[in-house]
Structure 1
Amino acid sequence: MTIPVRRIRRAERRSRFDLRSTTMFFVLLAIILCVLAFVARTAASMVERRPLWAAVLTVLGVAAALQFRSGRRRFSAWRYARRAARALEEAADTASDSLRAAEDAEACTTGAGAPVEPSGSTVTVAGSTAPLLAADRAELDPDGFEHAVAELCVRSDCRDVEVVGGAGDLGADVVAVTPDGRRVVIQCKYYADGNKVGSQDMQRFGGTCFTIHEADVAAVVTTSDFTEPALEYARQCGIVCVNGDDLRAWHLGTGHSPWHLADIEP
């Protein structure tokens, strides 16, 4: 089954009507109009009394306008040059990432003697289809880990499973609807064994999982473990913590899914 990938965009803030700001705007507009009328009247009077001075000032004004326009063009060209340089830099980074991914895939193929499945795919284990998880971490990356967790949700009879991790995801990597109709939001932490999920990571997820993503069950799934402050914060907020051992048991079918753990834990 193909897991749909959807990137979450940051919610745009809608401007609200402000009576005070609107009033100030019209007051300033009235002042500007009065000043312009006074300047126009003074200029007309000067043209009648001293036409020579009016002609000189007009020539100086035109010259200043032309100089400003030339400087603005130079500024615009500099801005466009900066944009072009930034675009080239982003393209170079993208090409570098693609080349690195191709090299990693080739290295895994050479080491294993068989082609490695792309991220989000499944591999056949003992005649059944199962996600590629901790059984061979060398062939897994953070994106592949998110897809593997999504595959576990599919195998656990979840529906509407989506991988939404990426820039601006606000902490959500996988979202799904459990068999009993609850919305589960999962954050995936692909960490080494010695790198534990800390309280700061947990607090960032806790600030969005219920309020922004409207989760009925919020869970952090990691390949490593959690610090004590992170576990304490999770208990206070009702976030389910799934460490490497729990993940392995879920994968092998000997343990519980995150939403089942939410029902078991106090």
Structure 2
Amino acid sequence: MEPAAFENLVGQLVEALNHRDVEVTGRPGDGGVDVRAVRVDQWGHAAPIAVQVKRYSKSLGRRTVDELLGTIVRERYVAGILVTTSDFSKDAQKAASLAPQIQLVNGAQLVDLLAEHGVAIAYGHYGELVLATGD
């Protein structure tokens, strides 16, 4: 899957997760933000979030978490989600655990979220993954 298509797929997932004003912004020089959205809490408070998408085969390290945290602070986002097709190193997981505004989504979690929300894939009758029909 091309990087832009993957960013669009994650954008569709963010929208399926009930975020508003979802904008796929991924491009060179995007400041580490591939998807922007607004998360609305149970009280109706809107909070801007940044999503960074990494289509990698190797684990992501702490540097990637630190870069997203810097972007959140600099650009005044309330939270950030780091999505990868692979996994996160122990250092990256530790860094994210110390920054409550950062959420990590690894490849396995991504597949589960896509299937659970019927974005591109879904769970079949027997729990197998099938192409989502969009119904």
- Tell me which interval the TM-score lies in, with the shorter structure as reference length: 0.7 to 0.9
Residue pair 1:185, 1:213 contacting (<8 A) in 2 also: no
- Hey, what does 2:95 align to over in structure 1? 233
Q: What SS does structure 2 have at the residue aligned with 1:178?
A: strand
Matched letter for residue 38 of structure 2: V
Task: Give the distance between the partners of 1:158 and 1:203, measured in 2 at CA.
Answer: 24
Residue in 2 that maps onto 1:151: 12
| Aligned equivalents of 2:18, 2:69: Cα separation in 1 | 26
Question: Secondary structure at 1:208's aligned position in 2?
Answer: helix
Deviation at 1:200, TM superposition (A): 1.5
- Identify the structure with the greater strand proportion: 2
Residue of structure 1 in register with 2:77 after alignment? 215
Instruction: Render the CA deviation track for 1:123-182: whole Å, top value 9, x for unaligned.
Output: xxxxxxxxxxxxxxxxx1111111100011122222110011222211111011124322
* RMSD of Structure 2 on Structure 1 (CA): 1.5
Shift, 1:199, TM fit:
1.2
Q: How far apart are residue 233 of structure 1 and its match?
A: 0.9
Which stretches in structure 2 are left out of the alignment for 5+ residues? Answer: 118-135
Q: CA deviation at 1:223?
A: 0.7
Give structure 1 regions of 4+ aligned residues with deviation exceeding 6 angstroms.
Answer: none
Distance in 2 (CA, whole Å) between partners of 1:244 and 1:156 is: 17
Q: Among 25, 30, 48, which residue is 1:183 paired with?
A: 48
Aligned partner of residue 22 in structure 2, secondary structure: strand
Structure with the greater relative contact order (CA < 8 A, sep ≥ 6): 1 or 2?
Answer: 2
Name the amino acid aligned to 2:54: K
One-letter code aligned to 2:97: R
Matches within 5 A, 1:81-96: none
Matched position secondary structure for 2:50: strand
Q: Tell me the equivalent position of 2:120.
A: none
**Map of 2:35 onto structure 1:** 174
State the Cα distance separating 1:234 from its structure 2 match.
Answer: 1.1
Structure 1, unaligned stretches of length 5 or more?
1-139, 255-266
Give 1:221 shift.
0.5
1:17-166 equivalence runs, <5 A: 140-166=1-27
Q: Which of 42, 47, 61 pairs up with 1:198? A: 61
Once the two structures are TM-superposed, the CA of residue 244 in structure 1 deviates from its matched residue by: 0.9
TM-score (norm 2): 0.76
| SS class of match (2:92) | helix
Q: Provide the TM-score with structure 1 as the length reference.
A: 0.40
* Higher Cα radius of gyration: 1
| C-alpha distance after superposition, 1:18-77 (max 9, x if no partner) | xxxxxxxxxxxxxxxxxxxxxxxxxxxxxxxxxxxxxxxxxxxxxxxxxxxxxxxxxxxx
* Paired-residue identity, %: 34
